[in-house]
Amino acid sequence: MVNSLEAMVAGKLKKIDAQNLRRGLKPTERFDHAVVCRGGKKAISFCCNDYLNLSTHPAVKEASKVVLENFGLGSGASRLVTGNTPFNGRVEQRLARLKGSESALVFGSGYLANMGVIPALIGPNDLIVMDELSHACMYGGAQLSGAKIVLFKHNDPSDCQSRLAEHRKNYERCLMLTEGVFSMDGDLAPLADLSDLAKEFDAWLMTDDAHGLGVLGDGRGTVAHWNGKGCNVDVPLQMGTLSKAVGAYGGYICASQKVIDFLVNRARTVIFTTGLPPAVLAGVDKALEIIETDKKLANQPVEKAKLFTSLLGLPDAQSSIVPVVLGDEERALKASAQLEKEGFLITAIRPPTVPAGTARLRLTFCAEHKEEDIHRLASLFKTMELVA
């Protein structure tokens, strides 16, 4: 008898292979100073999101270790039962202070935050207007909400305005979604314009600041970045992750106290899931303390990214992320393999993570990257003719 499950996946995998889109999980060990080991060979990683290298910071590890010894590994239950270790509250207070909001709520991951917050606030009679390049988990939360989803052209406030003008009047409530720093392109959302549009159309602006916290606005994220430039950006819903510059794991939303109280009652990805391990939260608390107090550290990833773009004559990096778009999947895979041979780990990013025809090398810069390595990498990009 034909096993229909096996036959289905075999057929689909064949198609994925033919398109050069097969993904696989490669064991990779990560060490201090952005060094990784894959297949027995060491390389310098230019594709981790640990922008401040806090995942290996001695004080962060120590804070986590002490709590692990005292409280064990798991949190044992949902936060609403017995899984609400006091470290949640400490982290939430720090996040609210950093982001300039009244309150905050921690989730199991950034993905879970978007999957919980969006459907809790907005439903089938409502409208979501979102940047077309928003992250998969913003799409996931939007789809789960059942709201009408309208996309606007990437970072184009006038297209966003047209969409709002056309659709807003037909729906009771409206949520606007964008990333603060776009994860695959490294560019920043025009938050001042979007914030004005949100006011004009009575929409609630929500940012995913996964790549802004710890890196922009002296570590406080994209809203602080724009307001530091004299803009008047007001974002009532600032979502983010603890897995990138914070160097750990978890997600969060910063908002008013009333919104947070409501989410505790309605966000299914807080209610029906186990709380984060206490040792992870203790490490996060220490990492956030470092971000709050060490502004010099926070500015380093963008400085390093700018060094790379200047060496190659590329447009100035706006964040710690620099995309080098190669177009073709095969070309991106080959370039990544060649760079790995030369001692640099830069994973090829292919559709559906990025739009068709825009396969790329996505470089991420972190505080501990050495200048000489960035020079060596830029020379390789020149000799491999990866930039025009």
Ligand X SMILES: Cc1ncc(COP(=O)(O)O)c(C=O)c1O
Select 137 or 386, whichever has its Cβ closest to ligand X.
137
49, 64, 101, 114: which is the annotated catalytic residue?
49
CA distance 310 to 279: 40
CA distance 271 to 42: 42
Q: Which residues bind to ligand X, rule: CB under 6 A? A: 109-111, 135, 137, 179, 183, 208, 210, 241, 243, 251
3-class DSSP assignment, residue 266: helix
Select 237 or 386, whichever has its Cβ closest to ligand X.
237
Look up 208 and say whether it is catalytic. yes
Q: How far is the CB of 152 from ligand X (least distance, A)?
A: 17
Closest listed residue to residue 52, CA positions, set 212, 218, 279, 291: 291
50, 179, 187, 368: which is the annotated catalytic residue?
179
Closest listed residue to residue 348, CA positions, set 333, 337, 326, 334: 333
Look up 29 and say whether it is catalytic. no
Query: 127-131 and 103-107 as β-strands: parallel, antiparallel, unpaired?
Result: unpaired
Radius of gyration over alpha carbons of the chain, in Å?
21
Angle at 84 between CA 251 and CA 266, to 5 degrees: 65
CA–CA distance from 121 to each of 34, 125, 168, 173, 265 (Å)? 39, 12, 16, 9, 11
3-class DSSP assignment, residue 17: helix
Look up 49 and say whether it is catalytic. yes
Q: How far is the CB of 154 from ligand X (least distance, A)?
A: 14
187, 208, 329, 368: which is the annotated catalytic residue?
208
> Can you read off the two tokens belonging to residue 135?
């992250």
> Can you read off the two tokens belonging to residue 201?
């159309």
> Can you read off the two tokens belonging to residue 186?
């490294």
* Residue matched to tokens 């009575």: 202
Look up 244 and say whether it is catalytic. yes
Select 198 or 276, whichever has its Cβ closest to ligand X.
276
135, 225, 286, 304: which is the annotated catalytic residue?
135
57, 99, 211, 304: which is the annotated catalytic residue?
211
Select 251 or 277, whichever has its Cβ closest to ligand X.
251
Select 54 or 378, whichever has its Cβ closest to ligand X.
54
CA distance 364 to 321: 5
Q: How far is the CB of 143 from ligand X (least distance, A)?
A: 15
Look up 211 and say whether it is catalytic. yes
Q: Which residue is nearest to ligand X (CB)?
A: 110
Q: How far is the CB of 208 from ligand X (least distance, A)?
A: 5
Select 152 or 381, whichever has its Cβ closest to ligand X.
152
Query: 174-179 and 127-131 as β-strands: parallel, antiparallel, unpaired?
Result: parallel
Q: How far is the CB of 108 from ligand X (least distance, A)?
A: 8
Q: How far is the CB of 62 from ligand X (least distance, A)?
A: 23
Tell me which residues are annotated as active site. 49, 135, 179, 183, 208, 211, 244
